[in-house]
Structure 1
Amino acid sequence: MDDDDGGRLARWENRTELPLFLMSMVFLGAYAAHVLDPGLPPAAHTALLATIGFAWATFAVDYAVRVRLSNRRFGPRYVSRHLLDTVVLLLPLLRPLRAVHIYQVMQRRHEQPLLSLYGRVIAYAGMAAVLLGFSGALAVYQQERHAPGATIRTFGDATWWTCETLTTVGYGDVVPVTPAGRAIAACLMLMGLALLGAVTGSFSSWLYQTFAREGELPPGR
């Protein structure tokens, strides 16, 4: 990618990250209303579905523009290098996870980081956990609530199950029974492990550096 293409892509990101983040919150809100309040009038559900479709189309256009401005051929190599962008396009409920890019856009306007590296890891992991928990609960509730033999009948059940899954506790008192619900569970398990690993590793590194500065650990170890 040449400098001109890189500059155009950076300008596009600077202009679109915040509006697209707000659009992702609209998407999440519309999806939540559609799932949690089935008693709304049909016209309201139609409007919510139209909002969801419009938001996803906006994300798809953004993805296509990014591919074009990157001056790279779309394929497995591009997807592997832009995995988060691809994931949030396929799973738009996770689009707010791109909030880290908003931080990067803001950071370009400041000489010093707004947060330390460890603060950024903890803040992003916390935000990701809340988002994954809420989105996962919505998705599994939609799939499970009317399934024969389901134990996840209410949104409260779904939220409790999501907390168990993300924290890798897994009491087993409520479990998904549908194929889609189990697929969601597998994704949440992997993401929960990744988040716990990131937070634990960052906290351990911070403690080590703190003790080293205070002279309780020999330098260079």
Structure 2
Amino acid sequence: MDDESRVARWQQRTELPLALASLAFLASYAVRVLAPGLHDVWQDLSLAVLLASWALFFVDYAVCWRLSGQGLRFVPKHRLDTLVLVLPLLRPLRIVKVYEAVQRRHGKPRLALHARVIAYSGLSTVLLGFAGALAVYQQERGAPGATMRTFGDAVWWASETLTTVGYGDITPVTPMGRLIAVGMMAIGLALLGAVTGTFASWLLQVFSREDDERPPGS
């Protein structure tokens, strides 16, 4: 069995547990940001879940690195895995790749490629938007001159940013908040491009299929 096959088998076995760990990370982070006044026991528990999630992602990255046999070449060849280690909430972006590997073993996928890309892009947008709203709200609340006074404001700002609308009614004022905003802009452009490009490709295929099925001379 080659190295790539071993890595693929490991990823197939660990995808669900690590996806659940990503959701646990998100929930614990939300508790720490939105409920800072909770009893110390709950704060400590949420911190323990955060650290455990990070540990799971680190173990996954280390095992994939070891099984690949690529040494330092593993990092540039697996940029998304590296980003997942830094920010576990990016893990939903890997679902399409893993789903493809599983479906190739069981025949044709249940959904067309276009539908899968749009569905997973939508899921990733929701998860990353919520995470981004939490992160920027944590930095902006209480800052001098901040226009983001509530978490609802943060969600509204994240929606504006990810959809590239940018009304400008709410803007980050802290350095870290602006850095998070830059990342959100990049993610929004990438996801929007993936969805619109996939939808356009699907329309072209539909029109092309209709032209092929049209009788000659019609």
Runs of 4+ in 1 over 6 A off after TM superposition: none
Aligned residue in 1 for 2:51: 53
Q: How many residues align?
A: 214
TM superposition shift of 1:93: 2.6
CA distance in 1, matches of 2:10, 2:104: 14
Counterpart for residue 154 of structure 2 = 158
2:169 corresponds in structure 1 to 173
The answer to whether the Cα contact below 8 Å between 2:28 and 2:50 also exists between their aligned partners in 1 is yes
Alignment-derived partner of residue 94 in structure 2 = 98
The superposition leaves residues 46-78 of structure 1 with CA deviations (integer Å, 9 ceiling, x where unpaired) of 11101101110110011011100000112xx43
Counterpart for residue 134 of structure 2 = 138
Match of 1:183 in 2: 179
Task: Give the counterpart letter for 1:32 in structure 2.
Answer: A
Where structure 1 has 5 or more consecutive residues not aligned to the other structure, the ranges are: none
**1:14 Cα deviation from its structure 2 partner:** 2.0
Question: SS of the residue aligned with 2:54?
Answer: helix
Alpha-carbon offset, residue 6 of structure 1: 2.6
Letter paired with 2:83? V
Provide the rounded CA distance (Å) in 2 between the counterparts of 1:73 and 1:34: 37
State the distance in 2 between where 1:10 and 1:95 align.
16
TM superposition score normalised by structure 2? 0.92
Match of 2:24 in 1: 26
* Aligned pairs (5 A) from 1:8-47: 8-47=6-45
Bigger CA drift: 4-13 or 188-197? 4-13
The answer as to whether partners of 1:5 and 1:71 remain within 8 angstroms in 2 is: yes
Q: What is the Cα deviation at residue 101 of structure 1?
A: 4.1
- Cα shift at 1:181: 0.7
The letter for the 2-side match of 1:177 is V
Instruction: Name the Cα RMSD after superposition.
Output: 1.8
1:214 and 2:206 equivalent?
no
Q: How far 1:196 moved relative to its partner?
A: 1.2
User: For the Cα contact (< 8 Å) 1:211–1:217, is it kept in 2?
Assistant: no
Gaps of 5+ in 2: none
Q: How far apart, CA to CA, are the structure 2 residues paired with 1:102 and 1:57?
A: 21
* Alpha-carbon distance in 2 for matches of 1:9, 1:94: 19
Partners of 1:57 and 1:68 lie apart in 2 by 16
Contact 1:21–1:98 at 8 Å: present in 2 too? Answer: no
**Alpha-carbon spacing, 1:36–1:208, altered in 2? closer, same or farther (3 Å):** same
Q: Which residue of 2 aligns with 1:107?
A: 103
